[in-house]
């Protein structure tokens, strides 16, 4: 019993750490992106100063923002979904079975995405690709796909396990619906 509670405590701490990384990473990326874009606009309009460097950093920050937003959407289970099936299917057990199926499909797609993102990062490191303006190692940018995808996988697995537990607890099944 002691190991079980320790495991859950560690899991809860890791979950909180992941939430902090997602929330603060998204927030910092957003601030960098918005701050640099607005600064570039202001300086271009006032003193006709353009900076490709700022635009490049803003673009890379936006990529990190988008990928962390994927993880946050997975965490909040707020991806686009259709209520059409919920209106047609009245059986709670059938709806849960479909929820499990959709989670499995999403998980499969996310795992494929993370795998190919890792392949891409390894390739970029191997060829030594850098950005055009600031010469930033591009693996830093491509790493956002791995991080965001991995965090989304973790959240999707969590929802999948919860859905399976909920499915097991449902007692009735109506085959006629």
Three-state secondary-structure class, residue 34: helix
Cα-based distances in Å from 27 to 11, 23, 64, 93: 24, 6, 10, 39
CB atoms closer than 10 angstroms to residue 9 = 10
Which residues are CB-contacts of 140 (< 8 A; sequence separation ≥ 6)? 60
pLDDT of residue 4: 67
pLDDT in tens, 65-120: 999 998 888 888 776 665 666 677 777 788 888 888 888 998 999 999 999 999 99
pTM: 0.81
User: What's the rounded mean pLDDT across residues 112-133?
Assistant: 94
The phi, psi pair for 77, rounded to 5°, reads 50, 45
CA distance 98 to 73: 20
User: What's the rounded mean pLDDT across residues 149-162?
Assistant: 91
Q: Which residue has the tokens 């607005």?
A: 38
pLDDT in tens, 16-68: 888 888 889 889 999 999 998 898 888 888 898 888 888 899 999 999 999 99
Q: What is the DSSP string of 93-142?
A: HHHHHHHHHHHHHHHHHHHHHHHHHHHHHHHHHHHT-B-TTT--BTHHHH
CA distance 37 to 175: 57
């Amino acid at each position: 019993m002691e190991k079980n509670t320790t495991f859950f405590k560690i899991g809860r701490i890791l979950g909180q750490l992941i939430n902090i990384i997602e929330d603060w990473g998204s927030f910092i990326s957003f601030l960098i992106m918005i701050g640099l874009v607005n600064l570039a606009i202001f300086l271009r309009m006032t003193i006709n100063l353009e900076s490709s460097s700022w635009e490049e950093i803003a673009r890379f920050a936006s990529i990190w923002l988008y990928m962390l937003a994927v993880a946050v959407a997975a965490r909040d289970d707020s991806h686009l979904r259709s209520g059409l099936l919920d209106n047609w299917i009245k059986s709670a057990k059938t709806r849960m079975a479909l929820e499990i199926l959709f989670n499995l499909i999403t998980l499969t797609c996310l795992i494929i995405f993370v795998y190919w993102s890792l392949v891409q990062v390894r390739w970029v490191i191997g060829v030594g690709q850098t950005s055009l303006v600031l010469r930033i190692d591009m693996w830093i940018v491509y790493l956002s796909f791995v991080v965001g995808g991995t965090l989304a996988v973790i959240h999707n697995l969590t929802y999948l396990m919860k859905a399976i537990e909920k499915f097991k607890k449902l007692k009735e099944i109506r085959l006629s619906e």
